[in-house]
Amino acid sequence: MSPITEQDSEQNERIKELETKIKTLEEEVDKYQDKEHQALNQRIRSIEKQVWGAGAVVAAVVTGYGLYQNILPEPIVYAREDHNHLKTLNELEPVKLAKENRRYIQDVVIPSYGIGTNWKNQYHDEWVKKGGFKN
């Protein structure tokens, strides 16, 4: 054999060895990546389960609180400016309350838009002097 042919055959053998090593290493890397990927997916699933569980607990607490509020409602209390007379909304008839609210909005709230953001103004004071919710 000529020296060039020997060198070619040596290089071919070396190339085959290197290709085999590369394939082996690629397979090992793929196995390692698969294991790491599976471990990461398991951790993500675990966290998702915890988040879903926490969401379910929050939903149950909010639902329970809402049911409790509907079962044992406490009257909503409002006060006139003099704070001596308190009434509960449960004592007022709904129709009367709606009329009073409309009247208050027309006489106090709507005119107040032109004055500023402070609710205590001349319109509110006039409303209280006229008797407020008594009329």
Q: Rounded CA gap, 103 and 135, in Å?
A: 10
Taking only the tens place, the pLDDT of each residue in 33-74 is 778 888 888 999 999 999 999 999 999 999 998 888 777 655
C-alpha distance from residue 36 to each of 25, 30, 43, 102 (Å) = 16, 10, 11, 67
CA 29, CA 34: separation in Å to the nearest integer? 8
Q: Which two tokens stand for residue 43?
A: 């951790």
pLDDT, residue 1, reads: 61
Tokens representing residue 16 in the block: 């085959």
**Domains of the chain: which residue ranges?**
1-73, 77-134
Q: What is the pTM of this model?
A: 0.34
Which pLDDT score is estimated for 91? 53
pLDDT tens by residue, 85-108: 555 555 556 667 677 777 887 787
Q: Using alpha carbons only, give the angle 95, 99, 103 rounded to the nearest 5 degrees.
A: 170
Mean pLDDT computed over 13-19: 91
